Chain A
Amino acid sequence: QVQLVESGGGLVKPGGSLRLSCTASGFTFSDRYMNWIRQAPGKGLEWVSYISSGSTYTNYADSVKGRFTISRDNAKNSLFLQMNSLRAEDTAVYYCARAQQLGPEWFDPWGQGTLVTVSS
């Protein structure tokens, strides 16, 4: 079955960096757009970034633009999120989610999430 497993979360100090990974299985990873979405503790969902199947197109929420970089390795069925200059407000559960072949417009399924905590 389709499965997404995130890893790489943890505790990091403000200004620090972290790299999240998402490993996909059960579908042709290289065919699909992929997204990162986050959820701060007790808060709602916030879209973070997407990447097209061949990495040609990427986009970011204004709140992370210039600090986060999305990438993928289709040979390893893996999605990444490099997070630099982390702030307290980046504290959240980060989910990876599969999208369509032709665009990022909806998310199905989602991984279980990985918690990122930014605190001194």
Chain B
Amino acid sequence: QSALTQPASVSGSPGQSITISCTGTSSDVGDYKYVSWYQQHPGKAPKLIIYDVSNRPSGVSNRFSASKSGNTASLTISGLQAEDEADYYCSSYTTTSTLLFGGGTKLTVL
């Protein structure tokens, strides 16, 4: 299966909001509520920031929010901070009982 489609890069200034899209198909993103998002800083392991489309784990800032419409999921980060600069990945469960990641999006805080 092909990876989910994310923009390679996005950028924003401190205090602004940005949105990262994650496009799949009716066999993955469109068929399940099991979309998750991960933040990865350079040289570090990824960290879960959203699960089940729009739920935040305990301890994750409420500046992170997410949603899904059809085959596309979206992650929004509001009130951008320098520490948000990282790579972001979406993931989805699929109809073949496997997992898929997006190609990743590099967020630059200007």
Contact residues of A between 29 and 67, Cβ < 8 Å to B: 35, 37, 44-47, 50, 59-62
Q: Looking at the complex, which one of A44, A59, A103, A109 makes contact with B3 (CB distance below 8 Å)?
A: A44
> For residue B38, which residues in chain A have a CB less than 8 angstroms away from its CB?
45, 107
Q: Are B48 and A107 in contact (CB under 8 A)?
A: yes
Q: Are B48 and A108 in contact (CB under 8 A)?
A: yes
Interface size grouping (class) on chain A: 20 to 34
Q: Are A59 and B98 in contact (CB under 8 A)?
A: yes
Q: Are A105 and B36 in contact (CB under 8 A)?
A: yes
Q: Are B34 and A45 in contact (CB under 8 A)?
A: no
- By beta carbon, the residue of chain A nearest B93 is A105
> For residue B98, which residues in chain A have a CB less than 8 angstroms away from its CB?
47, 59-61
Q: Are B89 and A44 in contact (CB under 8 A)?
A: yes
| Chain B residues with a Cβ under 8 A of chain A | 1, 3, 32, 34, 36, 38, 40, 45-48, 51-52, 57, 89, 91, 93, 97-104
Q: A59-B97, A106-B36, A107-B91 are in contact. List 19 more A-B contacts (CB 8 A).
A: A35-B99, A44-B101, A45-B38, A45-B91, A45-B101, A47-B99, A47-B100, A50-B99, A59-B98, A62-B1, A95-B45, A103-B34, A103-B93, A104-B99, A106-B34, A108-B51, A109-B45, A109-B47, A111-B45
